[in-house]
Amino acid sequence: MKKAISILLISIFLATALIACGGGGGGYKDGTYKATYDDFDEHGWKAYVEIVISDGEISDVDFDYVNEDGDIKSEDEEYNALMKEKSGSSPEEFSPALEQQLIEKQNVKEIDNITGATHSVENFKKLAEAALKNAKSGNTEEAIIKQETSESKED
C-alpha cells in the first residue's frame, strides 16, 4: 500500500512539473503558423511572423517586415544603417535575436526587450502570440492582426 501511494504521489508530482513547464511543448500542434498585420505602418512596412512547430515545440521562427514592393526590412542596408545610427539597433540584428529567444524560451512572455527596438519587440510578441494561439488548435490559417496606428516610432 505504501508503495502504491508513493508511486501515485510521484506521478502527481511529475505531471504537475510537466504542466508547470508548459507540458514539454506548450501543447502546440506540428505545422507552420503565420501572423501578420492587416496593413502597412506609417513607415510603409508590415510586420509578420512565421513559426514552425515540430514535435510540439517551437523549432523555427521568422520575424521581419515587408513593404509594398516585397522588400524585407532586415535586408535593406540603407534602412539598417540609418536605424543603427539613430537607435543603436537594426532589424538585421534584432529580428534574429527575437527569433532565437523564442526558440530557446518557448514562451512569448519571457522575451526580453531590446534597446532601440521596443516597438518591434511589441510587434513580435503580439504576432507570435496570435500565431501560437493557432498552433494550440492546429489552425494553419494565417492570423491577421489589426495594425494599430500609434505615434511615429523608428523601428
Query: pLDDT band at residue 32, thresholds of 50, 70 and 90?
Result: very high
- All cell numbers assigned to 131: 500565431
User: Does 16 map to a domain?
Assistant: no
Q: Indicate the pTM of the whole model.
A: 0.80
Q: Which domain holds residue 90?
A: 28-145
The confidence score (pLDDT) of residue 111 equals 97
CA 11 to chain CA centroid, nearest Å: 33
Query: pLDDT band at residue 23, thresholds of 50, 70 and 90?
Result: very low
Distance, in Å, from the CA atom of 3 to the CA atom of 125, rounded to the nearest integer, reads: 46
User: Does 84 map to a domain?
Assistant: yes
Q: What is the DSSP letter of 75?
A: G
The confidence score (pLDDT) of residue 69 equals 96
The confidence score (pLDDT) of residue 148 equals 79
User: Does 93 map to a domain?
Assistant: yes
